[in-house]
Each structure stands twice: as C-alpha cells, then as structure tokens.
Amino acid sequence: MIKFPEDKYINVNGLKARYWAEGDSGPQVLFIHGIGASVEYWHKNIHELSKNYRVLAVDMPGFGKSDKPDADYTLEFYSEFLTEFCKVMKCEELVVVGHSLGGGMAMQFAIEHGKRVKKLILVDNVGFAKQVTIFFRLMAVPVIGRLFLKLSKKLFAFALRGNVHHGEVISDELVDVLYPLNQAPLAIRTLKYIVKHNTDLAGIRAATLKPIWDHMDKIREIPTLVCWGKDDNLLSAKVHVPEIKKWLPHVRLELFDDCGHIPQMEHPKKFNKLFDEFVKS
C-alpha cells in the first residue's frame, strides 16, 4: 500500500489549495507538478528528502484536489499563485523543483522572483523547445481533442504508463488514486484550456515560450540542475537536450537511462541522490 503524506489545505487568494508538508529542518523545497498531474507525482521523493529538508508540494489550481476556477491558466497566472502561496506559507528562500509544465511554471516564477529562488531543479520540463508529443498537438484540434481528454480508466492507465520506460512503475493502486483526480470534469476543463491556448499542430506555441526565452538570462543567474529521461516520449530528449545546452550552457544536466517522462517516479533513488548532491553542493 502506498503511504502518502497527510493532505493539508490552505486559502490562497480565495482559492483552496491542497498541499503536502514534510520535514522540520534544512532548506525549504517547493515541488511543482505538471499538466494533468498532482502532488502524488512526488510521492517517491518527499518522505526520503524530508529527512534533510522542509518539503512542500502543492496541487496547482485546476488540478488535483485544489480549487479549479474558471481562469486564464497561463504561466503568469501560476507564477502569481506560487507567489501568494509562498507568502501564506512564509517561504523566504526556496529550492524550486518543477516537472513538465510545472518546470515552465518554475522558470516563470524564478524569472519574476529570482532572489527568492536559491536553486532550481527542472525535470523533463516545458521551456526550452516547441516539440511536444503528437497527442498533445491533436488535443488542440476541437473535435479530435475530445477523444484524448475524456478517458476510461483502462485508457488512462495505458496513457500514463506510456510516459515511463518501465510500465510497472505505475501500479494499479496509483492509477486508482490518479484517475479520478485527472478525470474530474473541472480538471478536464483546465487541461482543455491549457492545451487549446498553448499548443497547436506544430507544437508548443512560441507565444507561450517567448516570455521565458526573452528572460533566460535571469535563469542563468540561478544554480540549475536539469534532469531528463532519455526515452521521454512526451518531450523528446533528442530535441530538448540540445536546446538546453544552447540556452543554459553552464547548467548541470543529468540524463536518465531507461527512463521516460517522469524520472522522479521511475528512478527515485537516483533522483533523490542527485537532488541531495546538487542542493548541498
């Protein structure tokens, strides 16, 4: 049986947000999940890392068990939410960790609040290149997109396991937890909004990435670790890794063998060790 941290809730600018908090001492860490995801994507990292860190993970608005308002779900919207969340939680200096779209949120937050971000860890993240799997590009097509948004549990499990190299990493128990969160009507509405406004048949829209690209110099000022699965089918390492080296030539880059889009879940021991080494370095 999976042991999850205790669900906690807090009011952030009128929105109820679910979060996990573990650890009593050490640097403060904030984990940010990606599109269609939730705090459960960090369940193999939080307990171990909380031995030496004060760890926070939050369900971003529109996903998980947090409120899902009718809002403009842009990177700027999420950065503003994170700013207010940090104020309420009294976070002064943070190690910020972002996965997938959450990495784009983390970069936007770091651009706006660089003094607050002590170190940045990006995991198979949006922000470096336009490429994204064909399934997300097809979601942007109104008629076809509906087929990829509303899924049976069997299809959801198939799609989720397609994001990792070793499908058995995604247990039936985890699917049982994630499926109702991902397929809640308002979560689907959020997913639909984000896909519609940020992707097209060519990939992630340049307009979405330009605010990050135009201020990449601010990211370069922050010690950054980038982790990437070599077999990522969603954000291809072959496309994104060369762009990472172009945008952030001095970044620490770690590629995970036999790994898909979710390194922290597929190879938690390696991820946790890298995290610890990087933060302490």
Q: Which domains does the chain have, with CATH numbers?
A: 8-280 (3.40.50.1820)
pLDDT at 238 over 70: yes
Average pLDDT value for the chain: 95
Query: What is the C-alpha to C-alpha distance for residues 264 and 251, in angstroms, rounded to an integer?
Result: 19
Tally of CA atoms within 13 A in the half-sphere of 90 that contains its CB: 1
Query: What is the C-alpha to C-alpha distance for residues 74 and 119, in angstroms, rounded to an integer?
Result: 23
pLDDT at position 140: 73
Question: In whole angstroms, what separates CA 51 from the centre of its chain?
Answer: 22
Percent of the chain scored above 70 by pLDDT?
98
pLDDT at position 154: 96
pLDDT at position 136: 81
pLDDT at position 73: 97
pLDDT at 74 over 80: yes
Query: What is the C-alpha to C-alpha distance for residues 171 and 159, in angstroms, rounded to an integer?
Result: 13
pLDDT at position 124: 98
pLDDT at position 143: 63
pLDDT at position 176: 98
Report the pLDDT averaged over residues 65-88.
Answer: 96
pLDDT at position 147: 65
Q: Contact at 8 Å (CB) between 54 and 25?
A: yes
pLDDT at position 137: 84
pLDDT at position 138: 80
Q: At what angle do helices 142-149 and 185-198 cross, to 10 degrees?
A: 140
pLDDT in tens, 157-207: 999 999 999 999 999 999 999 999 999 999 999 999 999 999 998 999 999
pLDDT at 268 over 80: yes
pLDDT in tens, 93-139: 999 999 999 999 999 999 999 889 999 999 999 999 999 998 888 87
Confidence of residue 271 (pLDDT cuts 50, 70, 90): very high
